[in-house]
C-alpha cells in the first residue's frame, strides 16, 4: 500500500468513525435508556437515573464524534489528535473489559463493540505512525521532552 493510499485509508476511517459515532450518539440521546439493550428490567428512580445518564453521556459522545470529523476534515491530518482519539476509544474498550471482570457479561450486543474498541485503535496507531514516516516527521513521534536518541 502506497503512502498516498495509506493517507486516504486513514482519512476514510476517520470519517467513518466520526459519522458512525454521531449517528450512535444521537440515537441514544433521543432514545435514552430504551435504546440500550438489556436495560428493560430497570424500574422507577433507578431507570430514570440511568436514562438521564445515558442521554448526558451521549451528548458528550457526540462531541467526541465531532472531534473525529474535525481531524478528518483538516487539510493535513493532525496525527497527534488522531492518536489521542484512538487512545480514548481504546480506554473505553478496556473499561468494558473491566466491567466484564467486575460485573459479569452484559447483553450480547456490547461484545462486538468491545472488540472494535480494542482492535481499531492499534490500526489507527499503525496508520498514524506510517503517515509520520511518510511525512518525514520522526520527532513528533517521540514522547514530549525526549531528545529522540
- Model confidence at 7, pLDDT cuts 50, 70, 90, reads confident
**Sign of the C-alpha dihedral, residues 131, 136, 137, 138?**
positive
Range 117-126 average pLDDT: 98
pTM, two decimal places: 0.86
Q: Is the Cβ–Cβ distance between 115 and 44 less than 8 Å?
A: no
Helices (H), the chain: 3-31, 44-73, 79-103, 110-135
What is the pLDDT at residue 144? 54
What is the pLDDT at residue 148? 45
pLDDT at 67 exceeding the cut of 90: yes
Amino acid at each position: 500500500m502506497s503512502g498516498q493510499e495509506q493517507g486516504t485509508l486513514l482519512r476514510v476511517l476517520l470519517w467513518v468513525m466520526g459519522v458512525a459515532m454521531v449517528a450512535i450518539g444521537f440515537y441514544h440521546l433521543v432514545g435514552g435508556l430504551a435504546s440500550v439493550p438489556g436495560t428493560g428490567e430497570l424500574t422507577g428512580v433507578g431507570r430514570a437515573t440511568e436514562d438521564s445518564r445515558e442521554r448526558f453521556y451521549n451528548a458528550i459522545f457526540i462531541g467526541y464524534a465531532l472531534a473525529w470529523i474535525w481531524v478528518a476534515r483538516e487539510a493535513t491530518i493532525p496525527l497527534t489528535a488522531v492518536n489521542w482519539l484512538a487512545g480514548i476509544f481504546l480506554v473505553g474498550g478496556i473499561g468494558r473489559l473491566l466491567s466484564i471482570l467486575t460485573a459479569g457479561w452484559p447483553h450480547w450486543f456490547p461484545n462486538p463493540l468491545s472488540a472494535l474498541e480494542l482492535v481499531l485503535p492499534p490500526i489507527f496507531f499503525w496508520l498514524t505512525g506510517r503517515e509520520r514516516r511518510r511525512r518525514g516527521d520522526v520527532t513528533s513521534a517521540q514522547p514530549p521532552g525526549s531528545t529522540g536518541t
